[in-house]
Each structure stands twice: as structure tokens, then as C-alpha cells.
Amino acid sequence: MAIMQEAAKEGKKVAMVLDRIVLVEQTSIRLSKYQIPHGVMQSGHWRYRPYEPIQICSIQTLARRKFPDIDLLIIDEAHVAYKSTIDFMKENPHIKVIGLTATPFTKGLADIYTNVIGAQPMSNLVEDGWVVPMKVFIAKEIDMTGAKKVAGEWSSADASDRGMKIVGNIVEEWTKKTYEIYGEPRKTIVFCAGVEHGRELVTQFAAAGYNFVSISYKEDDEFKRQTIEDFSKPDTVIHGLIATDILTRGFDVSDVHIGVSARPFSKSFSSHVQQIGRILRPHEGKEYGVWLDHSGNFLRFRNDWDELYHDGVTELKAGGEQTKKELTEREKKEAKCPVCAALWVSKDNTCSSCGHVRQVFQSVSSIAGKLEELQETNRKLQIANTDFFAELQYYGRSKGYKEGWAAIKYKEKFGVYPNGLKVSPKPPSTKTLSWIKSRTIAYVKGKQSAQRMAA
């Protein structure tokens, strides 16, 4: 909004393009809130004012009409690349273009845009209060074994059909968690596997006494607009919304506390991240968002998520997203707390959600005196890991490195990111300094070797 307003003050013409009618309306309302004059280019919209220097445009409308005469083009949800927009950009290279997206992983973005600017890693945004932290629970998963795939992604028909088999589990798990955590129902969004899956969820939530509403391409735009408007009210009687992808991008209701993932993705990390983003908006009294994973997506994309969370985005990649390898049943079991099913967020053996302590060395538990000794050794290792991370943070800040540097180095040593590890930076020991030096030497040697091979 600030960029558009400044451009208009300089006599420039700006168009912001959005790919959903609900997002066009949402953006127009936000501009009006700040008393920024603008027009809306959307079929039948009451605010059609082509003379205004700022235009909020529906991509579908522009695809049927001619693009306005502009100096600056802003594209929302830039990871969704429309041919009409790309063609316009190629035909008008003099126009400056800004693409906005939280997930610049889509194949082809590197061919469209020249630079990427990552504002901050998500870990910094959480620390500064721009987004809330998240608690993840690994619930009963939709079984996609043998399901058909289209372009590397599971077909919506098979996903919806498989999802029907655990509808009862989804309703039961939501009911259990909302009362365990909040003591009452809290606003929820459910990402279902298909239209029929969504409708069946509505029926079973209703049977349990809760008001959930499903929205999809089969409902008219006015119904969807009114439903989202009602859900956005603090005193809404709607407990939750259910949709496949309508709520995935741009949906902005900050007091949503719970997200339910029931649409499995084989490769679309960007869709996974977009869905999670719907529950991370800060709101008064909201300490964290709760994610109930019935899709297997969080474990499937966990490494990608950790990298995004700590490192942010530093470059555009030409390749796009890759299909992820499925975890074994043992890996899935070991990834969650056996008591509350919360995700283990670090190498700490205490569940951050319920406090359960898992026994790592059960095979020697019958040997007198050994279990206590091993537990004490494990505790000392955890303290050593914490000290190491605190020393890395001190060193990184003293050198002016990015905030994510310490987390990257921690993973380099221990194989995982220090998720949830809170420390106060302290001067590094000689041992830590030696380790940092050794990694720097190894990096330089590797780079020199690569250069010799290239030559």
C-alpha cells in the first residue's frame, strides 16, 4: 500500500493484480480503511473508476480486457503465474514489476523475475511478534499408498476418496484438542481433500454439535463472500471453514487458532507453507497457532520447512519443487510424542507440549544403575548443545552475520535445526572457536577444489 501510494503521489499509475475475487474485495477494503483513493477492475464491481492512478484488478477480468496503462505492476501471489500477466510483462519491459509471495518455489519464477528480496527468516518474524509460533500435532494420516498421481501430485479424486475413511478421526481429534488446549471451540480452518470430502466433514461436525461450513468452486461467489465475512466477525457462530484451496492463499482472518491439514501433497511444499500461514497471523490474546496434521505433509516437508524457517529465501531457483520421499512407519512414530502426538521439535527428549519424557536407551533399562547413568549423560549432552548454540549466536552477531547463521551451523554439527531452543548468547569457548575455524577451512578448500574442477 505504501509503495502504491508513493507512486501515485509522483504521478505514476499502478495496478495491483489478484487472482481471487475475495482477495480483490479484501484489498479494496484495506485501501479504503487507510483512505487511499483507488479503482477496482472487476466485472460488475461498484468501484469501477478507471481514472484513479491506483487500480486493484482481478486477473480474470484483465485476461478478458486490455491491461491498463501503468508504470508499476504489483502481482499478488506471484507463485501462481498466469499466461496473460507473463505476456504483458514481456511485451512491456519498461514497466517495473513487483511480485509478492511467501513461497517463491514455483518452477519458472527464475525465468520471470530478476531478483528476490527475502524480508526476514520466519524465526525472526516469530521473535519480533509479526507471526505467532506454532504447535504441531501428528494425527491419524490419510493413507495414500497406491493412489494415482498427476504431474507428480496425488489426484484430487483419490485424495478425497481416501480422506472419507478418516473423517471421524478428524472430527474427534479436533474436538479433543480444542478443549484440551483452549477449553472451548476456537476458530478453525480445515483443508480438505476434495469437495465431497469437505461436505462429509460438515455433516459429521454437525452431528457432533459444531457449525462448520464448506466452501468450494461449486458455491456461488456471493455465498462465499458472505460466509467469509461472517466467519471474520469476532462473534461469529461459525466454528470453522472447510475448503480445498480457496483458503490457501491470501485468506486473512487473524483470530483463527487451529488449522487442520487433510489434503496430502506429494511435492507442493509451497501449498503446504501457504496453508500453515493461515493460522500464524498475530491477534490479541493469541499465543500460538495449532496445526493438526492428518495429511502427513508436515513430516513429508519437515526439512524444507526447517530451512525456510531459519534461513528464509535468498535466491530464485529454476528447478521448482520435487516429489518427497515417504517416511517409514517407524520414522513417523518416532517423530511424535507417544502421549499427546505433538511433534518432537528438537533433540530434546522432553515433549514441549505435554512434558512427557521419552526413554531413549530402553534396551539397557534392566541393567542396574545404567539407566540413571545414561540419562545423566544425555542431560549433559543437551546442556552442551545449548551452550554451543548460545556461543554460535554470540560469534555470529559479533561478526555481523545474518540471524540464521547460528542455526545453520548448529544443524551442520548435530543434523537438526535448534527448533524451540531459547538461549542467551555468550562468548564462545576455545573448542567452539576451533570448530568454527575448521568449518571455514573446509568451506574454502571445497570452493577452491570446485574452481579447479571448473577450470
SS (HEC) of 42-100: CCCCCCCCCCCCEEEEEHHHHHHCCCCCCCEEEECCCCCCCHHHHHHHHHCCCCEEEEC
Say if residue 93 is in the same domain as residue 129. Answer: no
Judge whether 412 lies within some domain.
yes
3-state helix, strand, coil in the chain (%, to 5): 45, 10, 45
Q: How confident is the model at residue 450 (pLDDT cuts 50, 70, 90)?
A: low
Per-residue pLDDT for 362 more than 50? no
pLDDT given at position 297: 93
Q: How confident is the model at residue 3 (pLDDT cuts 50, 70, 90)?
A: very high
Q: How confident is the model at residue 378 (pLDDT cuts 50, 70, 90)?
A: very low
Say if residue 92 is in the same domain as residue 136. Answer: no
Say if residue 137 is in the same domain as residue 281. Answer: yes
pLDDT given at position 81: 82
Judge whether 236 lies within some domain.
yes
User: Cα–Cα distance between 190 and 351 in angstroms, integer?
Assistant: 25
Say if residue 95 is in the same domain as residue 129. Answer: no
| Residue 212: partners with Cβ closer than 8 Å, 6 or more residues away | 188, 190, 201, 202, 205, 206, 238, 239, 240, 241, 242
Q: How many helices (H) and strands (E) does the chain have?
A: 17, 13
Judge whether 300 lies within some domain.
yes
3-state SS record for 191-229: ECCCHHHHHHHHHHHHHCCCCEEECCCCCCHHHHHHHHH
pLDDT given at position 363: 39
Per-residue pLDDT for 2 more than 50? yes
Per-residue pLDDT for 316 more than 70? yes
Residue 181: burial class (beta carbons within 10 Å; 0-12, 13-18, 19+): middle
Per-residue pLDDT for 375 more than 50? no
Say if residue 127 is in the same domain as residue 268. Answer: yes
Domain CATH for 222: 3.40.50.300
Q: How confident is the model at residue 150 (pLDDT cuts 50, 70, 90)?
A: confident
Say if residue 88 is in the same domain as residue 221. Answer: no
For the chain, report the end-to-end CA distance as a whole number of angstroms.
48
Q: Which residue has the cell 539407566?
A: 371
Judge whether 410 lies within some domain.
yes
Say if residue 272 is in the same domain as residue 193. Answer: yes
Which pTM value belongs to this model? 0.72
Judge whether 79 lies within some domain.
yes
Whether 407 and 337 have beta carbons less than 8 Å apart is answered as no
Say if residue 261 is in the same domain as residue 309. Answer: yes
Domain boundary among 310, 326, 342: 326
Say if residue 157 is in the same domain as residue 282. Answer: yes
Closest CA to 248 of 214, 219, 276, 220: 276
Judge whether 129 lies within some domain.
yes
Say if residue 88 is in the same domain as residue 127. Answer: no
Of the spans 46-60, 94-108, 417-431, which averages the highest pLDDT?
A: 46-60
Whether 135 and 290 have beta carbons less than 8 Å apart is answered as yes
pLDDT tens digits, residue range 199-248?
999 999 999 999 999 998 888 888 988 999 999 999 999 999 999 888 87
Of the spans 120-134, 147-161, 162-176, 431-445, which averages the highest pLDDT?
A: 162-176
Host domain of residue 126:
122-326
Q: How confident is the model at residue 361 (pLDDT cuts 50, 70, 90)?
A: very low
Angle at alpha carbon of residue 304, lines to 300 and 306, rounded to 5° = 105
> How many separate domains does the chain show?
3
Q: Which residue has the cell 509471495?
A: 101
Domain boundary among 303, 326, 349: 326
Judge whether 189 lies within some domain.
yes
Domain boundary among 270, 298, 326: 326
Judge whether 340 lies within some domain.
no
Radius of gyration of the chain (CA): 25
pLDDT tens digits, residue range 48-62?
999 999 999 999 888
Say if residue 94 is in the same domain as residue 133. Answer: no
Per-residue pLDDT for 380 more than 50? no
Q: How confident is the model at residue 377 (pLDDT cuts 50, 70, 90)?
A: very low
For residues 11 and 388, the model is more confident at: 11
User: Cα–Cα distance between 24 and 41 in angstroms, integer?
Assistant: 9
pLDDT tens digits, residue range 4-44?
999 999 999 999 999 888 789 889 999 999 999 999 999 88
Q: Which residue has the cell 480474470?
A: 60
> Grid coordinates in use for 215?
466452501
Say if residue 175 is in the same domain as residue 270. Answer: yes
| Residue 169: partners with Cβ closer than 8 Å, 6 or more residues away | 139, 140, 294
Q: How confident is the model at residue 103 (pLDDT cuts 50, 70, 90)?
A: confident
